[in-house]
Structure 1
Amino acid sequence: MEIQLTNVPDQMGVRPNWCDLPSELWRKIGKSLRNRIDLLRFRSVCNSWRSSIPPSLPNSPSFPLQLPHPINPFTVVFLIQSTFYRIEPPYQPSSSSPKGWLIKVEGESNPSHSHPLRLLNPLSDRQFSNPLSSSPRILNLLDYRVLELYKSYCFQQFGFPVKKVVFFPTSCWSDGEDSVACCIYLEGKLALFKRGDKKWTLVDDENYYYDDVIVYKGQLYVTDRWGTISWVDISSLKLIQYSPPLCGVGHKKHLVELCGNLYVIDRYYDSEPRRLNYEAAVVDFKVYRLDEEWGTWVDVKDLEDRVFILGDSCSFSVSANDFAGYEGNCIFFTDMFDVGKYNLGDGSIKTFELDPCSSKLFWPPPSWLRM
């Protein structure tokens, strides 16, 4: 749900006064919001709206979050939260609204913590820097039209052998007592950590080849290297098979949700990669959609206007129509030290460093974004 309370004039040129809404609607609207930026916008309308709901639940988790090391439980690591946004310029009646820009912001949950806010490349997780200025830049998201797209998580430790981390529930109203973290580490071990636990619990100690994990419809789902999706029963710590094996012959499987459906993206390397550092180069992708009604896999040849984002700590989809310079039916991904774009139509691959036009998708920012 996106709330854009920008006092845009209606057809009669009259600016609406949002404070005149019936008071019984304030709390009902506020409780329907599910992310932090919408909650901030709601509470910034006026004093009455701000006092109608709290900023969040008192015991909701804040990040960085201290967790034990999954391999060495006597070592403490910090789980860092990042948020992907589609950011657009404010309303301008004299011109058509340009398309949005994709940004990734790390470390915004707990302003009192020493971990600073960082603006990252959405795919490579590298921090953007301005070589022409050493002064700090300020990005006020309340100055723009902003939509939260996705949250990702990683551990604040260099060389930490974790392939993927998810955390749920992610709603701004979520109760911290019910929070669960799930990670895939080393060659593909799957582990869970519930609030109050002293250490991570290994799930399915007979299979060490899990590739990806996702929160889908409020539940945890994982896929192994053969493309079999399983549902993780949090209470029993057991896996329940949810799909037939895909039997894809690629080297790494990604789980992505698109329009309410589960997709597996099979990544192919030019040689068998070493499981921990993936030194091989990407040469191809195959896309499959799970038909949940019939329990079968559908080979997808055309994503139309959709784009898959496969970053170091994320996997999600966006519409190319929402972003300037993006091309539909493509997969954007990390490949060793580069960022690549795969066209599902013709099978071509381009790296951003070798394609100046593609690199501008993330940096420098458009002229309307003041930093």
Structure 2
Amino acid sequence: MDANLDWSSLLPDVLRVIARKLPTIKDYIRFRAVCRSWCGAASITGQLVPREFPWLMFPLSDCAPSLRFLNPQTNDLIYAGSKEEPAALRVVGSSFGWLILLGKCSSIFLLNPLTLAKIELPQLFWRSPGWHYISTERICLSHSPSEDSNFVALAILGYPGGILYLKNGDSWWRNVYREANSEGSTVFVDAVYFRGKICAIDGQGSLTVFELSSDHESCSLWNCRQFFPPLNGSMRCLADVMDDLVLISLHFVPDLWTNSVSMFRFDWMGRKWDKLDDLKGRCLFLSEGACSSFSLPSNRALGCEENTIYFIYSRVNRCEINDELYGLARNDVSRDKDYHVAAYSSDSKVTKPLPFYVPTPYQPLWFTPRLC
């Protein structure tokens, strides 16, 4: 081979053929970093970017201040984002390839850790007498900021409950109950933006729908009080599945590897939940206590199985875990729990662990890697 060959002069068509065969996003990023011509041939849009299995993100800490991700199917660890991001930041959500980060004094911003694109949002207060401090549990987005800058952000609050929302470009967050002229407040376990509505469920599965006005400056609310039997340790999540609002109730017993999984589709005409048998060929990704649940077509990401729910669950720590495996330190967290990833098939009704994922005491959340 000619040692003097100028690799930067390869024809764009040849470079695109090479880029199309790259198996992972990490390889794709490295390919684009070689030189200007290689970067130009490997577009971040279209069909060239590898469709990878969703990653798991581990929390920031003093001992590991950089962003750490894991492909749970290959056990490949990825470090991304700016290493200067302070450990004081708390990740409160993951939506469409963007992380939602909460800093000091309720400052909040969105970050794409692969491109380092950043969007700052107003502080988490709502406009009312006294300007209340906010206890934020989770935040999610209506759609990707890369696709449409007019996205809506939802913040699920801790005690005494409620939801704040904000359309990008607004100067402050709005309280859904205040905008609906209601004195009520509920502690919600999950919420999604669906067809111009904010849909939220409480611990019993009761649905509250906030209908937003066209300018998002006011809303009205109604309830579907179709309660479900409470299950100890159950996970209840909302998701948009093929333009249907779907409720998943999952109760998992780790030692027995048994599940009680119920799936419901909301009937908007009758305002009630109907039983759902399968996921229409899609797969769901659920996180325990984290607003990062989403659905994907099974062919969208490598290794996804159709009609399968991939979920993160915790259990009492009963075994010794390698703390250094994911670049984390023993004193990062308490040792009373470890976190696992499993897959439940709605076709076979069987739950199985992901073969390459090793349990850790650090609660991860799902992240869909995107370059745009």
Provide the TM-score with structure 1 as the length reference: 0.49
Provide the TM-score with structure 2 as the length reference: 0.49
Q: Which has the higher contact order (CA 8 A, sep 6+)?
A: 2
